[in-house]
Amino acid sequence: MDFPKVLLPGKAGSIKVKVETGKNPGPHVKSVTINSNDPTQPKLQVDLAFEVK
């Protein structure tokens, strides 16, 4: 996964994620956890939902 290692105060960035839908039909949710030195939320989870037709 491609992501910035350091963000200075006030700076923005992005994390590029790739999700494979697979073969199983129906709803799916995959997650990524962002580990950082933010003391209030050292682990932040982002959910990626999709439905395979």
Partner 1 sequence: MPLLLAVAMSACSPGGEPPPGARASQQDGASTTSPQPPAVQQPVAATAQTSQSATTAVVTPQPPSVPPANAPILQVPVTKIDFGKQPKDKTITREIALRNVGKSELKIESVVPS
Is 9 a binder of partner 1 (CB under 8 A)? yes
Residues 29-48 vs partner 1: string with x where CB under 8 A? -xxxxxxxxxxxx--xxxxx
Is 26 a binder of partner 1 (CB under 8 A)? no
d(CA 34, CA 50): 20
Q: What is the DSSP letter of 50?
A: E
Question: How many amino acids of this chain bind partner 1 (CB under 8 A)?
Answer: 45
Q: Are 30 and 48 in contact (CB under 8 A)?
A: yes
Where on the chain is the footprint of partner 1 (CB under 8 A)? 1, 3-23, 25, 30-41, 44-53
